[in-house]
């Protein structure tokens, strides 16, 4: 077929041609769809990333959800309820997107509940005051928007399309957080102190959310080659800094970093060291709230068992009929 004598070489050449055709499609900006041929590593990387992303949305409901019963007004409560519900919806879209790659939702959930799956570091910190809800919406959701706007252009169709809708909702989430932060920053000395304290505590975890520095990010090269990521972790972190630092300064708030400075030459805000030891401890499950978050997820899963059983019994009955 290719002028070779052994089937093995044919197979290797065929594989290489498929890979070249696949990469040419990505270079042309075409989307890869579930039934299309894709390298096993492309599939593996997407399942890894999308399932981690789905878990982050689900676990990410917990820190803010803790404030639904304590929101300072009915209006704030309604907004927060809608936001937390949106995060559950994002988890649903993302589990669906991962399922198109051949992984079962049950497998993904088992991995999460067994403590084997990763989810974003940032959701393993406590929400101590109402200002934390504002800072999560403003800083954490803004960080997520930057990352997800990039992913809305990724090469895998179902992930890219899920991101378009998620980003629209995340913009509303950011605005509600920014609104809380502005109100507190313009409030009484006590409110200003509360919002400053929240920024001090969430600053480092939010910077870490973009992932380890590029020299320590093993997945980035292949993700960039195949159009899943188009920017590196450090590049996105810099966009975040250049936008958020002037905004927080304009509100009279400070950044908890003595090394923070504006570099006239590059036009960028430069920061001191990020606490990467802390990041890896949190990712390993040793953060301040990892155990609490997992216990809450396991409890929710157990509480929902009867619903899953009823749905399975109904589906079985329909098939038998
Ligand atoms: N936390 O090679 P790297 C939300 C892991 S939720 C924990 O740079 P990659 C929201 C990484 O998995 C939105 N682990 O990885 C919800 C890898 O380990 P494995 C969350 C992290 O994939 C509710 C290892 O470190 N967004 O917005 O190239 C309320 C080496 O890293 C983290 C997403 O999930 C981390 N932060 O880049 C409010 C976005 N970072 O898997 C808000 C989708 C890295 O090799 N994900 N690790 O064992 C991504 O864009 C990328 O996966 C990352 C990391 C940029 C996060």
* Cβ-proximal residues to 118 (8 Å cutoff; 6+ apart), any chain: 52, 55, 283
Does residue 232's CB lie within 6 angstroms of at least one atom of ligand 1?
A: no
Does residue 191's CB lie within 6 angstroms of at least one atom of ligand 1?
A: no
CA dihedral 240, 244, 246, 250 (to 10 degrees): 170
Does residue 140's CB lie within 6 angstroms of at least one atom of ligand 1?
A: yes
**Measured in angstroms, how far is the CA atom of residue 8 from the centroid of ligand 1?**
38
Q: What is the pLDDT along the chain (321 residues), one digit of tens a residue?
A: 333 444 455 678 998 999 999 999 999 999 999 999 999 999 999 999 999 999 999 999 999 999 999 999 999 999 999 999 999 999 999 999 999 999 999 999 999 999 999 999 999 999 999 999 999 999 999 999 999 999 999 999 999 999 999 999 999 999 999 999 999 999 999 999 999 999 999 999 999 999 999 999 999 999 999 999 999 999 999 999 999 999 999 999 999 999 999 999 999 999 999 999 999 999 999 999 999 999 999 999 999 999 999 999 999 999 998
Q: What domains appear along the chain, each with residue ranges and CATH number?
A: 17-320 (1.20.1260.10)
The residues with which 259 forms a beta bridge, in sequence order, are none
Q: Which of 120, 127, 169 to mutate to test the pocket of ligand 1 (most atoms within 8 A of CB)?
A: 120
CA distance 144 to 129: 22
- Residue 263 DSSP label: E
Measured from the CA of 50, which atom of ligand 1 is nearest? 43
Does residue 132's CB lie within 6 angstroms of at least one atom of ligand 1?
A: no
The runs of H, that is alpha helices, within 28-71 are 40-59, 61-65
Measured from the CA of 63, which atom of ligand 1 is nearest? 29
Question: Tokens 């009823």 correspond to what residue?
Answer: 310
Does residue 147's CB lie within 6 angstroms of at least one atom of ligand 1?
A: yes
Q: Considering only CA atoms, which of 60, 68, 95 is closest in space to residue 297?
A: 60
- Residue 302, CB-side half-sphere exposure with 13 Å CA sphere: 7
Does residue 81's CB lie within 6 angstroms of at least one atom of ligand 1?
A: no
CA distance 139 to 204: 11
- Residue 30 DSSP label: P
**Measured in angstroms, how far is the CA atom of residue 11 from the centroid of ligand 1?**
35
């Amino acid at each position: 077929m290719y002028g070779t004598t052994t089937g093995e070489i044919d197979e290797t050449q065929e594989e290489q041609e498929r890979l070249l055709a696949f990469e040419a499609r990505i270079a042309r900006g075409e989307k890869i769809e579930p039934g299309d041929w894709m390298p096993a590593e492309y599939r593996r990387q997407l399942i890894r990333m999308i399932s981690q992303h789905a878990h982050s949305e689900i676990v990410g409901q917990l820190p803010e959800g803790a404030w639904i019963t304590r929101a300072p007004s009915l209006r704030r409560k309604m907004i927060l309820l809608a936001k937390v519900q949106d995060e559950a919806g994002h988890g649903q879209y993302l589990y669906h997107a991962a399922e198109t790659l051949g992984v079962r939702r049950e497998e993904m959930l088992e991995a999460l509940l067994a403590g084997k799956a990763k989810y974003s570091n940032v959701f393993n910190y406590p929400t101590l005051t109402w200002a934390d809800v504002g800072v999560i919406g403003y800083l954490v959701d803004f960080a997520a928007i930057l990352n997800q706007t990039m992913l809305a252009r990724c090469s895998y169709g179902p992930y890219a399309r899920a991101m378009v809708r998620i980003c629209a909702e995340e913009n509303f989430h950011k605005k509600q957080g920014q609104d809380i932060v502005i109100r507190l920053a313009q409030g009484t000395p006590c409110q200003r102190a509360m919002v400053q304290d929240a920024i001090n505590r969430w600053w480092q975890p939010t910077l870490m959310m973009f992932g380890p520095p590029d020299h320590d990010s093993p997945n980035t090269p292949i993700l960039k080659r195949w159009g899943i990521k188009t920017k590196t972790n450090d590049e996105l972190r810099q966009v975040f800094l250049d936008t958020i630092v002037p905004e927080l300064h304009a509100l009279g708030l400070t950044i908890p970093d003595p090394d923070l400075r504006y570099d006239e030459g590059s036009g960028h805000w430069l920061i001191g060291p990020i606490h990467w030891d802390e990041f890896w401890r949190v990712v390993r499950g040793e953060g301040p709230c990892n155990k609490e978050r997992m216990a809450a997820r396991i409890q929710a899963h157990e509480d929902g068992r009867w619903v899953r059983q009823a749905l399975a019994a109904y589906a079985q009955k329909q098939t038998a009929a």
